[in-house]
Amino acid sequence: MRSLPWPEHRFERIISWFTSFGYFDDIENHEVLSEAHRVLRPGGRLLIENNNLAELLPRWLPAVVVERDGDFMIDRSTFEPATGRAVTERTCVRDGQVRRFTFSVRMFIGVELKDWLLAAGFESVDQVDHEGAALAAGSGRMVSVAHKSIRRGRSSHNRLDPGSSPQ
C-alpha cells in the first residue's frame, strides 16, 4: 500500500472499507494516501470508510469478549489521544489453543482525515455517513470520498509534510 506497483493514472476508483486504513505509522499512512492519489486517473475518487471517532469515544469499552461455538476473542483496548491511536491486545482461544497479539490503528475525526487527504493532493473531500447523510457526531461510521482533480498533476492545495499538522 505504501508503494503501489501500478503506473500513474491506472484506476478510476479506490475503495478502503471497514477501517482498513490507518494501521501504519503516520508517515507511512501519509504515503498510502499519496500513492492512492498517484495511481488514480484525473477525476478519480478514493473512498475511505472507517470509525467515526466522535461517535466511538463516548461509548468506548476497555474490553470486549466475543464467544462463538465455544471459542473466544477477547480485546483489551485503549485510546491514546496524544497519537490518535487505538491500541488493542487481542487474545484468541480456539480449540483450546491460546494466541495473543497486539495491534493499533490510527483513528480520525472528520476534519483531520480531510486535511490529510487534501495534503496528499486531492482537490476536495466529501464526508458522509453510511446512508449518504452529512457526517455528524452521532454517525456510527465515517465515509470520506476524496476527489482527484480532473487536470493532470496535483491539486493546488498546500500539502503537509508527513507528520506535520495544519495551522
pLDDT tens column, 41-97? 999 999 999 999 999 999 999 999 999 999 999 999 999 999 999 999 999 999 999
Write out the E strands in the chain.
Answer: 11-16, 40-51, 63-68, 71-80, 85-94, 97-106, 124-128, 141-147
Q: What is the mean pLDDT of the chain?
A: 91
Q: Which domains does the chain have, with CATH numbers?
A: 11-53+106-147 (3.40.50.150), 56-105 (2.20.25)
Q: What is the mean pLDDT of residues 19-44?
A: 96
For residue 1, what pLDDT is reported? 58
| Residues 143-163, mean pLDDT to the nearest whole number | 69
CA distance 52 to 148: 23
* pLDDT band at residue 6 using 50, 70 and 90 as cut-offs: confident
92 Cβ contact list (under 8 Å, min separation 6):
71, 72, 73, 74, 98, 99, 100
